[in-house]
Chain A
Amino acid sequence: MDQFILQILNGLDKGSAYALIALGLTLIFGTLGVVNFAHGALFMLGAFVAVTLSKILTLSHKVVDETRTDFLGNPLQVDVPYVYDFFGEGVGDLLIDWSVPLSILAAIPIMIAIGFIMERGLIKHFYKRPHADQILVTFGLAIVIQEIVKYFYGANPIPTPAPEAFVGSFDFGVLLGFDPNAIIYPYWRLVYFFFSMIIIAGVFAFLQFTTFGMVVRAGMADRETVGILGIDIDKRFTMMFGIAAAVAGLAGVMYAPINSPNYHMGMDFLVLSFVVVVVGGMGSLPGAVAAGFLLGILESFASMSAVIDLLPGINQIIIYLVAIIILLTRPRGLMGRKGVMEE
């Protein structure tokens, strides 16, 4: 039983990342009808916003400390971050420690701006082209973004630690009456899960309860009619692209402490996210979220040792296997609508 709960928990954080990326992909697909292969790159850019902010915060200058000497007997030079000068040591340390959560604030405007530029500059011109062309041009864009990041940050993963307060693990087992250390779960993954739930809830609430969201939903259902009613739907859809980019970026920001960001992390996630979207059903937001968590949890169950003994290698292929089965038995995915991406 404790193993069971542990695997569900393990699946949640990966599932949240899948769900967030798939949600963004579906937002773009549902509104603009574009298959965005560069979405993984947006996720990666988010993670690198966190990297950049922590680099900026730890930017320092050398100060000679007269009280101490180095091994040669010269006065010791100490690196002092600029934030110490601005805010004093206490606040400065706090800022550096909390750089990843702080990056959220930076990531929202940056990612929305990147989304705007992408949509207005490139994707706008591809609405009338075939889906294959959209896939190819965004695939090319993903390569370009990835290579630019590689040029500036190098090819190695850059460790980006979570705040001190979230280091360590939470003992779930005690809470549920199991032995201590039976179910332990890192705090940050818990944070990631709750964070993603908030984002998902926020996106759904935005679409459901605001006038803007109502218009967008109407546009998703029937773009032409909304246009005839005198609403500039293109503008709203561009906004939605920005929001989708921000969702992917935030998923990336918070994922940075779980997995040190490197330039190809986006591509790694992209393939799986597409599988998630297709399993959930193209164009269905709840489907994308549900499929994300479902596949994340299935993946972690498949990597239990008991399962691997029974079916060796199943942990490697479970997601693809499920995708193939679902695509062949339920052609529209779990919650796909009729008439989406069908000839």
Chain B
Amino acid sequence: MLGLEKKDFRLLLIVIGLTLFAPFLLNPFPEGSELAQFNAGYPDLMQRFVIFGIFAIGFNILFGLTGYLSFGHAAFLGVGSYAAVWMFKLLSMNVLPAIFLSVIIAGLFSLIIGYVSLRRSGIYFSILTLAFAQMSFALAYSVLTPITGGETGLQLALSDPRIFGEAQTATGNIPVPALFGLEMRSSLEWDVGGWLFTFNAGYYLAAFFMIVAFYLAIRIFRSPFGMMLRAIKSNQTRMAYTGLNARPYTLAAFVISGMYAGLAGGLMASMDPLAGAERMQWTASGEVVLMTILGGAGTLIGPVLGAGMIKYFENIFSKINSTILHDWFAFLPDGLEDIVVAMIYPFIGKGWHLTLGIMFMLVVIFLPGGLVQGGQKLAGLFSRKKAEDNTKSSATEPAE
């Protein structure tokens, strides 16, 4: 179906199902219950899941397939956001031209940076991409203030031209991003029993783009082009001996993943029409590296899982404070309760980065294939034959 093998098609269907029913799946606990704080089914977080999913899928096309570790990918996301916000300012509040332009601009930007950076490989490539991204960040933060808004970030204003749309609404407010009149922030709420499910327009738009992005990623993974990229990772020298030039392939992969980042940036701006320089900082680039590795570099579903996991931690795990912990362990005797809480406390709430760091280290040390490999190992415990199949498809050793 759709030019996919049966197995891949099933994976695609699973992803489509998960994203469509996410408002249900992420809200398993009724409102007002003890566990309601673990619900992630609110629009803002769901949007972030899919947008960072797109970002990580794109990063994985570069890192997972070719093994080139870019430490500056957030720059493309930032450029995409700026492009989208400029479209909102100049053209109209329709999100489609904004997203389209952000993909194009990010693609062009990554073409330039990739053309230069890909002259080197290994750590030199990482440092070059890092240097370019930090330069973009520094410039966006200072000199390019007329274009980027500098420290305050790029924001919409009532005085913007918006030649194809309205500069301001009838009530004198700044209009909100919309898809042919369907506002991105509008939601349908469905109250069933104790549960409250929110179906957000912006989320479904982003989810649609993520499914398309995921489908394209599968096609790339299974195409002869994807095979070339894997060849670059496993042995570039041998590839050169067979008369193939690796450069165009890596550049194409770099530009594709840059465009994915641009798409993510454009969507981010569509959900909330703001763009700041901090989106381009190297810590943001580090985050997408974390997501991809944590989920499983070189696997199809891994980056999406990693992105979801990190965003879930960032938003849900970080809210747990010591009072909530005391509530949980209230059944323990007093002295023991304090000890248990004191032991757990550094790892949750504000300390979630610590948990993330430890988890990331454990994954890199024991599961180079990420959580996907972990899942496969678990599955392999139950059926031996299946494990043999899986190890073939998930060999992920980043090349130099």
Binding site for B on A (CB under 8 A): 35, 122, 125, 129-133, 135-137, 139-141, 143-144, 146-148, 150-151, 267, 271, 274-275, 278, 282, 312-313, 316-317, 320-321, 323-324, 327-328, 331, 341-343
Contact = CB atoms under 8 A, between A and B. Distances in A.
B239 to A, nearest CB: 12
B354 A151 contact: yes
20 contacts: A35-B123, A125-B365, A132-B69, A132-B400, A135-B69, A136-B360, A140-B360, A143-B356, A147-B353, A150-B353, A271-B130, A274-B127, A313-B139, A316-B142, A317-B134, A317-B135, A320-B132, A323-B128, A331-B124, A341-B123
Contacts, number: 121
A324 B131 contact: yes
B236 interface: yes
Interface stretch (B5-13, B114-122, B381-389): B114-122
Contact of A320 (B116, B134, B286, B398): B134
Contact of A140 (B116, B357, B399): B357
Provide the main secondary structure of the chain A interface. Answer: helix
Nearest to A343: B400
Contacts of B351: 147, 150-151
B399 A317 contact: no
A109 to B, nearest CB: 26
Which of B134, B282, B351, B368 has the largest number of chain A CB atoms within 10 A?
Answer: B134
B8 to A, nearest CB: 26
B353 A320 contact: no
Nearest to B356: A143
Given A275-B127, A313-B142, A343-B121, A132 B365 contact: no
Interface in B137-196: 138-139, 141-144
B122 A316 contact: no
Contacts of B237: 343
Contact of A130 (B142, B361, B398): B398
Nearest to B113: A324
Which of B126, B131, B135, B354 has the largest number of chain A CB atoms within 10 A?
Answer: B131
B324 interface: no
B141 A324 contact: no
Nearest to B121: A343
B293 interface: yes
Contacts of B120: 327-328, 331
B354 A324 contact: no
Contact of A151 (B143, B346, B358, B360): B346
B226 interface: no
A68 B3 CA distance: 89
B400 A271 contact: no
Contacts of A125: 365
Interface string B344-356: 0010000101101
B364 A133 contact: yes
Contact of A278 (B124, B286, B364): B124
Which of B67, B135, B351, B399 has the largest number of chain A CB atoms within 10 A?
Answer: B135
A343 to B, nearest CB: 6
B264 interface: no
B34 interface: no
B141 A316 contact: yes
Contacts of B282: 271
Nearest to A277: B127
B116 A328 contact: yes
A52 B333 CA distance: 35
Given A150-B351, A343-B400, 12 more contacts: A131-B122, A132-B399, A141-B357, A150-B353, A278-B124, A312-B143, A320-B135, A320-B138, A323-B127, A327-B128, A331-B124, A342-B122
Contacts of B139: 313, 316-317
Given A133-B398, A316-B141, A143 B123 contact: no
A323 B116 CA distance: 13
B44 interface: no
B361 A141 contact: yes
Contact of A343 (B122, B132, B346): B122
Contact of B357 (A122, A144, A317, A343): A144
Contacts of A320: 131-132, 134-135, 138
A331 B127 CA distance: 12
B127 A147 contact: no
A320 B400 CA distance: 22
Nearest to A314: B143
B228 to A, nearest CB: 17
Nearest to A144: B357
A130 B286 contact: no
A136 B138 contact: no
A137 B119 CA distance: 26
Nearest to A151: B346
A35 to B, nearest CB: 6
B291 to A, nearest CB: 12
B116 to A, nearest CB: 7
Nearest to B235: A343
A74 to B, nearest CB: 34
Contacts of B327: none
Contact of B354 (A147, A275, A328, A343): A147
A280 to B, nearest CB: 12
B51 interface: no
Contacts of A313: 138-139, 142-144
Which of B143, B286, B368, B399 has the largest number of chain A CB atoms within 10 A?
Answer: B143
Given A275-B131, A324-B132, A130 B397 contact: yes
Contacts of A132: 67, 69, 398-400
Nearest to B398: A132
A317 to B, nearest CB: 4
A274 B132 CA distance: 14
A134 to B, nearest CB: 9
Given A132-B398, A151-B346, A327-B124, A144 B354 contact: yes
B50 interface: no
Contact of A139 (B116, B123, B135, B286): B286
A313 B132 CA distance: 14
Contacts of B67: 132
Contacts of B142: 312-313, 316
Contacts of B399: 130, 132
A36 to B, nearest CB: 12
